[in-house]
């Protein structure tokens, strides 16, 4: 590798954004010229964004089965490889791979401007029950509720005026646009300077997507609801950090290159987060490939993806090297939940 393993992922993100622009730049320019919004409706507008087509196949399957016609779905296609015909009823917009916050702001302020509820969901978070919509609507009956989260950040909390609050995140969060956009004119943009306390061994340092706006809303007396864990587990399941694996699979051309990336660093490096996150993403993607094949009847081609046997071998040899309580068992649990729900 020409770059150290820990610097390759950020580079691969930038490279992907440039390469995919050949398919997404003109559609993005055309979108900004007209900025068509979803029609006025009482239904929530639900947004996701995608860089890996098979992940969208699985997300769509579960979203349509669980939510049906209770929401209107808008998809930012940031790879430029989705076929809108595969997602009947959804709006599929090819779009430059801008930061997630930029796309979310565009969704809230333009796409969903005629809706009260703008709902953002990562494409590696999957809906399991139609109750998800009912929970959102019920929470928003309180006029002071600004957001409803199905998955909070757990490794740090807000400390405001001596009181602790959970961090809503943007993984799967519905926003009251009347508060967020029309009244407070906020943005989901990430910023630095986060000094709130950690619940683990790493301080947050910066505010990720929606975190700063979340803090402002709480400070101003709004309610940012995080649903109880039992409701979260009933309504959604999924992965996180899958984009790390996607970017490297796009960067490399052969499985051998991907294997070299994983196996060439000293084994001590598996105690850190980079290899742990990348390999976890590959495990999740491999499972998504299996589900895609069951749903669509075909397996999406990923030329640099290691074989299932190679992944299992690496896991067996390297999971004992992970730090503390780290493991990939949570991926197994989410995968089994999806398999049973298919």
pLDDT, tens digit only, all 342 positions of the chain: 578 888 999 999 999 999 999 999 999 999 999 999 999 999 999 999 999 999 999 999 999 999 999 999 999 999 999 999 999 999 999 999 999 999 999 999 999 999 999 999 999 999 999 999 999 999 999 999 999 999 999 999 999 999 999 999 999 999 999 999 999 999 999 999 999 999 988 899 999 999 999 999 999 999 999 999 999 999 999 999 999 999 999 999 999 999 999 999 999 999 999 999 999 999 999 999 999 999 999 999 999 999 999 999 999 999 999 998 899 999 999 999 999 999
The span from the CA of 336 to the CA of 342, in Å, is 10
Domains and CATH numbers, the chain: 20-237 (3.90.550.10), 241-341 (no CATH)
Length of the chain in residues, anyone? 342
171 burial via Cβ count (<10 Å: 0-12, 13-18, 19+): buried
What's residue 1's pLDDT?
Answer: 57
What's residue 245's pLDDT?
Answer: 98
The span from the CA of 45 to the CA of 108, in Å, is 9
What's residue 60's pLDDT?
Answer: 98
CA atoms within 13 A of residue 223's CA, in its CB half-sphere: 11
What's residue 202's pLDDT?
Answer: 83
The span from the CA of 10 to the CA of 17, in Å, is 11
**Nearest CA among 288, 275, 291 for reference residue 328:** 275
pTM for the predicted model, two decimal places: 0.96
The span from the CA of 310 to the CA of 105, in Å, is 40
The span from the CA of 313 to the CA of 170, in Å, is 34
The span from the CA of 20 to the CA of 1, in Å, is 22
Angle at 100 between CA 96 and CA 104, to 5 degrees: 95
What's residue 44's pLDDT?
Answer: 98
């Amino acid at each position: 590798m020409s770059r150290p393993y820990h610097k390759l992922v950020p580079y691969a993100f930038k490279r992907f954004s440039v390469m995919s622009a050949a398919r997404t730049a003109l559609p993005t320019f055309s979108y900004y010229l007209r900025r068509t919004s979803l029609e006025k409706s009482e239904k929530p507008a639900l947004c996701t964004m995608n860089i890996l087509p098979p992940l969208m196949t699985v997300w769509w399957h579960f979203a349509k089965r669980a939510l049906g016609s209770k929401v209107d779905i808008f998809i930012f296609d940031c790879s430029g490889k989705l076929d809108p015909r595969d997602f009947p009823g959804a709006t599929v917009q090819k779009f430059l791979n801008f930061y997630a916050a930029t796309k979310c702001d565009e969704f809230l302020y333009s796409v969903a401007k005629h809706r009260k509820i703008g709902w953002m969901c990562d494409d590696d978070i999957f809906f399991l029950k139609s109750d998800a919509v009912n929970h959102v609507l019920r929470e928003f009956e309180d006029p002071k509720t600004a957001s409803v989260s199905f998955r909070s950040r757990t490794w740090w909390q807000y400390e405001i005026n001596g009181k602790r609050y959970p961090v809503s995140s943007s993984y799967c969060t519905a926003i009251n646009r009347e508060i967020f956009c029309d009244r407070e004119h906020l943005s989901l943009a990430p910023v630095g300077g986060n000094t709130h306390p950690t619940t683990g061994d790493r301080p947050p340092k910066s505010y990720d997507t929606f975190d700063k706006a979340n803090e402002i809303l709480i400070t101003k007396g709004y309610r940012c609801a995080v649903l109880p864990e039992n409701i979260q587990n009933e309504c959604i399941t999924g992965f996180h950090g899958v984009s790390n694996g996607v970017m490297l699979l796009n960067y490399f051309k052969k499985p051998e290159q991907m294997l070299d990336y994983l196996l060439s660093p000293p084994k001590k490096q598996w105690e850190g987060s980079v290899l742990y996150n990348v390999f976890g993403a590959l495990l999740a993607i491999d499972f998504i490939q299996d589900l895609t094949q069951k749903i669509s009847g075909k397996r999406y081609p990923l030329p640099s993806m290691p074989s299932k046997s190679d992944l299992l071998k690496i896991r067996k040899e390297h999971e004992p090297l992970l730090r503390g309580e780290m493991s990939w068992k949570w991926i197994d649990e989410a995968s089994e939940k999806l398999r049973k729900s298919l």
